[in-house]
Amino acid sequence: MTANVLKAFAVPHPPVILHEVGQGREKDIQKTIDAYEQVAKEISEAKPDVIIIISPHATMFSDYFHISPGKGARGDFSRFGARQVQFSVSYDEELAKTIDAVCRKASFPGGIAGEREPTLDHGTTVPLYFIDKYCKDYKIIRIGLSGLDLHEHYKFGELIAKSLKQLNRKAVVVASGDLSHCLKEDGPYGYKAEGPKYDKKVMEVLSSGALDKLKEFDEMFCMQASECGHRSFVIMSGIIGNKKVSARELSYEGPFGVGYGVFAFEPEQAVETEDEYIRLARMTIETYIKERRIIKIPAFVTQEMKEQKAGVFVSLHLNGNLRGCIGTIAATTESVAEEIIGNAISASTRDPRFEPVMASELVNLEVKVDVLKAAEAVGSLKELDVKRYGVIVTKGRRRGLLLPNLEGVDTVEDQVSIAKQKAGIDIFDSDVVLERFEVIRHEVKD
């Protein structure tokens, strides 16, 4: 499996770059035009599921990040005297709603509320002018900035990345934004010394590929330089995350007093590796779902897996959501390998909470295997640790178990309460036997 961000680009958005607007002046930024053509070709070759466009001129709030909602939008260049240049795009509604939900779950101020201007802005349409030449029938997500600090912009990017992973979307990110607007006396804001200094510094960071440094810029310095794209670039860096990035400067120029930089970034596509435990569980599931056949222990299984006896849980996730989980508290077979085979089949076909896994789901199915260590009795909740220990709650013949270090289970009280519910024990019943256990967790590593 590979990363969800295929490529990313930092691009400017001067309307004058269009011949219909520039009427010949666009020739003064021919390097930028040529670089833009290269960007559009690379986007087409990447064949993304969605193009994420981050624009400083989309709907913006002081304390909220806006994602354009709905099926799509239209726009043109009538503000710049070229009404005939028109655009119509389709939005990835499912991804927009997923980002909205992920933000709400994280109590983060971002989502699809508060649309003020549904018409496409020029921070979006300038990139689309070139993308449309090479890409057909694509979907986009249009992201706005906010007045919050740079670290919040980076965090928003991380939440977008989490949403991409949940839906297994392959994306190209286009961070739209000019650099300084005060490079020359006859520029939009005159000349300020901070202008060239900002452009030099941001170009060095972008060229290095160390994109996480963008969030550490002094915000007063950015404001004095009259830049408009920095927050777009920071969101892009948050989406890419801490992956190693190769960076290419495609062009830089500023003949109109505004810095126009074009960069291409390619995150290192990490190969996820499965150990023998995950490999055995996955092979078991795929064989059983496709052929309705129980595999024999394959040759790659280690001697330890053949000799050790222990309880095992097999957990399945699809697009970030639980898809099945079945296990045994203690050994029921002659080896961990046999335990994995039996519980992998049960997790994929016999979990009463879910329909059996379908063959079409196998390619995106995430598999985890927990090998349980021996349980030990505890006298109080103080001896539990929700990250380190799983818990077993027993009352009479009723017994419930919850694994350690599960997303969304943050307190010991929550852990014990859920284990009671699984056993059919009243959550307020304190007359129960508590045991704790550790696990050796096997999961895919980047």
Whichever domain contains 387, its CATH number is 3.30.1490.150
Q: What is the pLDDT of residues 138-173, one digit of tens each?
A: 999 999 999 999 999 999 999 999 999 888 899 999
- Residue 364 and residue 379 in one domain: no
Question: Does residue 298 share a domain with residue 180?
Answer: no
- 335 and 381 in a single domain? The answer is no
pLDDT score at 426: 95
Q: What does the pLDDT read at residue 304? A: 95
**What pLDDT is attached to residue 2?**
43
- Two structure tokens written together for 334: 């002659």
3-state helix, strand, coil in the chain (%, to 5): 40, 25, 35
- Model pLDDT for residues 119-139, shown as the tens digit of each residue: 999 999 999 999 999 999 999
Residue 307 shares a structural domain with residue 334: yes
- Is the pLDDT at 337 greater than 80? The verdict is yes
Instruction: Looking at the structure, tell me whether residues 47 and 156 fall in a common domain.
Output: yes
Residues 6+ away with beta carbon under 8 Å from 75: 86, 87, 119, 120, 121, 124, 125
pLDDT above 60 (res 446): no
Whole-number average pLDDT of the chain: 94
101 vs 27: CA distance, rounded Å? 45
pLDDT of 308 strictly over 70: yes
Same domain (yes/no): 114, 188: yes
Q: What is the CA radius of gyration of the chain?
A: 27
Q: Which of 267, 298, 322 is the last residue of a domain?
A: 267
Same domain, 92 and 241: yes
**Average pLDDT, stretch 203-231?**
96
Q: What total number of domains does the chain contain?
A: 3
pTM score, whole prediction: 0.67
Query: Are residues 416 and 393 in contact, defined by beta-carbon separation less than 8 angstroms?
Result: yes
Residue 309 and residue 262 share a domain:
no
Domain end, chosen from 252, 267, 282, is at: 267
Taking the CA atoms of residue 373, residue 374, residue 380 and residue 386 in that order, the dihedral angle to the nearest 10 degrees is 10
Domain match, 128 and 249 both: yes
Percent of the chain with pLDDT over 70: 98
Shared domain check, 100 and 21: yes
Which ranges constitute the DSSP H helices of 179-224? 194-208, 219-224
Domain that holds residue 327: 272-369
Residue ranges with strand state E in 294-382: 312-318, 321-327, 365-372, 376-378
Q: Is the pLDDT of residue 328 over 80?
A: yes
Give the whole-angstrom CA distance, residue 197 versus residue 217.
Answer: 12
Positive or negative: CA dihedral 155, 157, 158, 162: positive
Same-domain status, 136 and 173: yes
Pick from 338, 369, 400: which residue ends a domain? 369
> Among the listed ranges 178-192, 203-217, 263-277, 381-395, which one has the minimum average pLDDT value?
263-277
Residues 203 and 325 in one domain: no
CATH for 41 = 3.40.830.10
DSSP assignment letter at 183: B
* Domain at 331, CATH number: 3.30.700.20
Tell me the mean pLDDT in the region 227-248: 94
Mind listing the pLDDT tens digit for each residue in 265-277?
998 765 567 899 9
